[in-house]
């Protein structure tokens, strides 16, 4: 796997304001030199979530969650370690270059680079065709009909996909792009059928379509969306790239690379259904806008948005499909702690058509006046109801109760029940019963019922890891964690054989091979952030234990004791081999000599550890 140098990790952590980072998701208040808030990893009423700016760490005394800024992004936003470091590095303006540990990882990194190059080159080619080639005249005419000029097309690198696959192949040959890479990048399709025992040649996925490049958070082109230009054209109105090693639909929002800083500044995201809507809203001056990828919102999308804002305004078409999409988005985004409002567009209008017909101010007004989701839902139910009697209002209340049951915060539910009860003129007691019933009927995912369960599982895994360690190795690990001299001496010692042969030295081996330094706060934080979650918890528990004696003499005695364990294991292994029937004389003689030598070495170590209470029995 690629690896980020530890010096870069330390630099990223040092440049990150952990209070500002966590403060985007958690309401924090100052408490002495630290900050307190309600833990985002489990449900609680009293704040037990502590953020220490001096240490650059967070810790929840309720569920045990804790770590660095990197760990927070990993746990809160569902990112990998590398993704979290890159996210923070990008915010701090730090360049990240990954080291590659082995040939397989190097090949994987080169393959990923090739796919990104294929997408980048394709985006440039599609754009060049759109702007210059006569074949793209229908695409240019379509853009004019939508009020999109050349400057907008350039800013968003719109493109044109030609009809002929042969045209693609000419371009591929010029760019020296292999056909296999085009297939894996999703630009070509490999037919499943065979002709005369041979597979048919791949062909272009997009033909005679207007092309929109899809980018990741860093601005790299990772996929495309192609729109039809003729009404009778085969295929869907929009055809998106398939999932590839560089593109996962559930992890990407169109335009997020451009709009994320505007979303963060406004603390609000406007969400449209399609690429053109998103682009035209952005170009109209409402730059805190993104669009989905033609699929339903995912939990990861919710976490992406929660990282930068606390409110989302759904700006979908006003038809039944738009209302259903808004309801699905609410059920995904609301549990992330995001307030959902719904912009009600005039019948038959989408954001783009409204801007062209009435100007950006009309959309701005609708967005500013957008009601919260529950109120929007009630308005729609009332508009479609046959009457406004009590029976009908109770029916409406039962439907709205389903939405209220999504809220995870107690105060949020109480406020929602109070508001809806007044709007529908039903009793709060009756509505509360409906909400409880709806919540009990909802199938919970494993671990969802108790927000602290994942942390409990991690702590249990950490306990198992600590319990599996050799007690002397654990003692030496504690010394090395707290004393730089001991750790430096350990790294200078010839203990590779011990770490390889003695069971229960895994934590000691991690310290030995790391760049951890007890004297450097950034190094300590970077070391913890780079561990697996259960390893980090194990080291945290180990550090919290009372410090043992940490002189070099004590460390030396502990290492001799571990060497005794290793030698004893080798002696037992040799003796076991000697008991095998039919052993050749020469092999028997060699094993006997080995036992004698190992026993002599063990005696030397025993003599050096005399009087040490932690010495294991011979």
- What's the pLDDT tens digit per position in 162-183? 999 999 999 999 999 999 999 9
Average pLDDT over residues 574-602: 83
Q: Is the pLDDT of residue 570 over 90?
A: no
615 falls within a domain = no
Confidence grade of residue 132 (pLDDT, cut at 50, 70, 90) = very high
pLDDT higher than 90, residue 285 = yes
- Structure-model confidence comparison of residues 585 and 611, the more confident one: 585
Mean pLDDT score, 178-190: 94
Cα–Cα dist 502/217, whole Å? 45
DSSP H helices in 289-359: 299-308, 320-333, 351-358
Q: 363 and 284, same structural domain?
A: yes
State the residue range of the domain holding 156: 103-190+201-245
* pTM (predicted TM-score): 0.59
In-domain check, residue 617: no
According to the 3-state scheme, what is the secondary structure of 432-448?
A: HHHHHHHHHHCCCCCCC
If asked whether residues 310 and 409 sit together in one domain, one would say: no
Residue 571 is classified by DSSP as: H
- Strand (E) or helix (H) holding 258: helix 256-266
pLDDT at 447: 41
Same domain, 172 and 256: no
Percent of the chain with pLDDT over 70: 91
Domain boundary among 69, 99, 129: 99
Same domain, 234 and 153: yes
| Position 222 confidence tier, pLDDT thresholds 50, 70, 90 | very high
545 pLDDT above the threshold of 90: no
C-alpha neighbours within 13 Å on the C-beta side of residue 318? 14
**Given this model, what pLDDT does residue 497 score?**
84
pLDDT at 616 over 60: no
Q: Are residues 489 and 568 in the same domain?
A: yes
Tell me, yes or no, whether 277 lies in a domain: yes
Whether residue 46 sits in one domain with residue 112: no
Average pLDDT rounded to a whole number, residues 235-256:
88
Q: Do 480 and 502 share a domain, yes or no?
A: yes
How many other C-beta atoms can be found within 10 angstroms of the C-beta atom of residue 103? 8
pLDDT value at position 257?
87
pLDDT at 617: 36
Check pLDDT > 70 for residue 47. Answer: yes
Number of structural domains the chain divides into: 5
Range of weakest confidence among 469-478, 500-509, 540-549: 540-549
Residue 344 is assigned to a structural domain of this protein = yes
Decide: 516 and 507 in contact? Cβ < 8 Å.
Answer: no
Question: Which of left, alpha, beta for 115 (phi over 0: left; psi -120 to 50: alpha)?
Answer: alpha
Please calculate the CA angle 317-321-324 and round it to the nearest 5 degrees.
Answer: 105
Considering the domain boundaries, does residue 77 fall inside one?
A: yes
pLDDT at 109 over 90: no
Domain finish residue from 390, 406, 441:
441
Q: In this structure, are 255 and 330 located in the same domain?
A: yes
Report the C-alpha gap between 95 and 218 in whole angstroms: 12
Same domain assignment for residues 401 and 433: yes
618 lies in a domain?
no
Could you tell me if 418 and 282 lie in one domain? no
State the CATH number of the domain containing residue 57: 3.90.580.10
- The owner of tokens 């044109």 is 160
Higher pLDDT among residues 445 and 319, named by residue = 319
pLDDT higher for 207 or 192? 207
Q: State the average pLDDT for the chain.
A: 84
Note whether 44 and 38 are within 8 A (CB): yes
Q: Distance from CA of residue 237 to its chain's centroid?
A: 31
Least confident of 173-182, 221-230, 541-550: 541-550
Comparing 1-5, 144-148, 527-531, the range with the smallest average pLDDT is 1-5
In this structure, is residue 446 part of a structural domain?
no
Residue 106: band (very low, low, confident or very high) from pLDDT cuts 50, 70, 90: low
Question: Domain check: are 588 and 483 in the same one?
Answer: yes
- Whether the per-residue pLDDT at 477 is higher than 50: the answer is yes
pLDDT class for 453, splitting at 50, 70, 90? very low
Both 275 and 320 in one domain: the answer is: yes
In this prediction, residue 592 carries a pLDDT of 84
Q: Which residues contact 523 (CB under 8 A, 6 or more apart)?
A: 6, 10, 515, 516, 517
The token duo for 591 is: 């094993």
pLDDT greater at residue 150 or residue 586 = 150
In a domain, 448, yes or no: no
Q: What is the pLDDT of residue 294?
A: 64
In this prediction, residues 11-22 reach a mean pLDDT of: 88
**Residue 248 DSSP code:** -
pLDDT score at 2 = 56
Q: Among 21, 92, 87, 9, which Cα is nearest to 58's?
A: 21
Mean pLDDT of all residues in 528-540: 77
User: pLDDT band at 442, cuts 50/70/90?
Assistant: low
216 — pLDDT class (breaks 50, 70, 90): confident
Model pLDDT, residue 102: 53
Q: What is the pLDDT of residue 342?
A: 92
Give the domain CATH number at 183: 3.90.980.10
Q: Is the pLDDT of residue 482 over 50?
A: yes
Among 332, 319, 411, 409, CA closest to 373: 332
| 166 burial level (CB within 10 Å; 0-12, 13-18, 19+) | exposed
Does the pLDDT value for residue 368 go beyond 90? yes
Last residue of a domain, one of 370, 403, 421: 370
* Token pair of 400 as six digits: 């709205």
């Amino acid at each position: 796997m690629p690896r980020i140098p530890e010096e870069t990790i330390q630099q990223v952590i040092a440049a990150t304001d952990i209070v500002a980072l966590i403060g985007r998701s958690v309401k924090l208040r100052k408490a002495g030199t630290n900050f307190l808030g309600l833990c985002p990893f489990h449900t609680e009423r009293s704040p037990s979530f502590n953020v220490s700016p001096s240490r650059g760490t967070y810790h929840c005394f309720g569920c045990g969650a804790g770590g660095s800024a990197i760990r927070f992004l990993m746990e809160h936003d569902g990112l990998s370690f590398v993704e979290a470091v890159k996210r923070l590095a990008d915010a701090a303006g730090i360049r990240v270059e990954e080291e590659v540990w082995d040939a397989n990882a190097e090949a994987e990194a080169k393959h990923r680079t090739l796919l990104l190059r294929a997408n980048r080159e394709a985006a440039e080619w599609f754009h060049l065709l759109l702007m210059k080639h006569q074949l793209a005249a229908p695409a240019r005419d379509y853009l004019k009909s939508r009020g999109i000029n050349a400057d907008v097309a350039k800013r968003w690198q719109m493109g044109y996909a030609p009809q002929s696959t042969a045209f693609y192949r000419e371009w591929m040959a010029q760019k020296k792009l292999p056909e296999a890479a085009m297939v894996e990048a999703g630009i070509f399709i490999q037919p499943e059928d065979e002709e005369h025992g041979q597979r048919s040649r791949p062909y272009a996925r997009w033909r005679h379509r207007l092309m929109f490049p899809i980018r990741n958070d860093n601005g790299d082109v990772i996929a495309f969306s192609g729109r039809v230009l003729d009404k009778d054209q085969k295929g869907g109105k929009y055809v998106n790239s398939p999932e590839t090693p560089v593109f996962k639909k559930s992890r990407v929002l169109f335009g997020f690379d451009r709009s994320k800083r505007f979303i963060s500044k406004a603390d609000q995201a406007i969400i449209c259904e399609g690429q053109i809507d998103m682009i035209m809203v952005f170009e109209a001056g409402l730059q805190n806008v993104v669009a989905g990828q033609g699929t339903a919102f995912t939990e990861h999308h919710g976490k992406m948005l929660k990282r930068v804002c606390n409110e989302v305004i759904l700006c979908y078409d006003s038809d039944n499909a738009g209302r259903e999409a808004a309801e699905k988005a609410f059920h995904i985004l609301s549990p992330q702690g995001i307030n959902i409002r719904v912009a009600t567009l005039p019948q038959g209008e989408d954001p783009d058509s409204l801007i062209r017909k009435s100007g950006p101010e009309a959309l701005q007004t609708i967005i500013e006046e957008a009601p919260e989701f529950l109120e929007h839902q009630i308005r729609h139910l009332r508009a479609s109801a046959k009457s406004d009697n009590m029976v009908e209002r109770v029916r409406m209340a039962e439907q709205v109760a389903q939405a209220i049951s999504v809220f995870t915060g107690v105060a949020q539910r109480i406020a929602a029940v109070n508001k809806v009860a007044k709007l529908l003129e039903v009793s709060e007691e009756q509505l509360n019963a409906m909400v409880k019933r709806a919540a009990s009927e909802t199938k919970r995912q494993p671990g969802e019922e108790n927000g602290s369960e994942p942390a409990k599982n991690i702590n249990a895994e950490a306990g198992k890891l600590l319990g599996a360690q050799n007690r002397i190795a654990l003692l030496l690990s504690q010394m090395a964690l707290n004393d730089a001299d001991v750790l430096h001496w350990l790294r200078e010692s010839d203990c590779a054989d011990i770490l390889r042969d003695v069971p229960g030295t895994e934590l000691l081996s991690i310290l030995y091979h790391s760049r951890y330094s007890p004297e450097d706060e950034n190094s300590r934080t970077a070391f913890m952030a780079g561990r697996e979650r259960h390893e980090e918890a194990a080291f945290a528990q180990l550090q919290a234990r009372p410090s043992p004696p940490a002189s070099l003499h004590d460390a030396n005695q502990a290492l001799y004791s571990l060497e005794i364990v290793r030698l004893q294991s080798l002696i037992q292994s040799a003796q076991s081999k000697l008991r095998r029937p039919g052993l050749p004389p020469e092999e028997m003689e060699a094993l006997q000599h080995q036992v004698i030598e190992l026993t002599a070495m063990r005696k030397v170590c025993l003599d050096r550890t005399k009087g040490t209470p932690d010495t294991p029995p011979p």
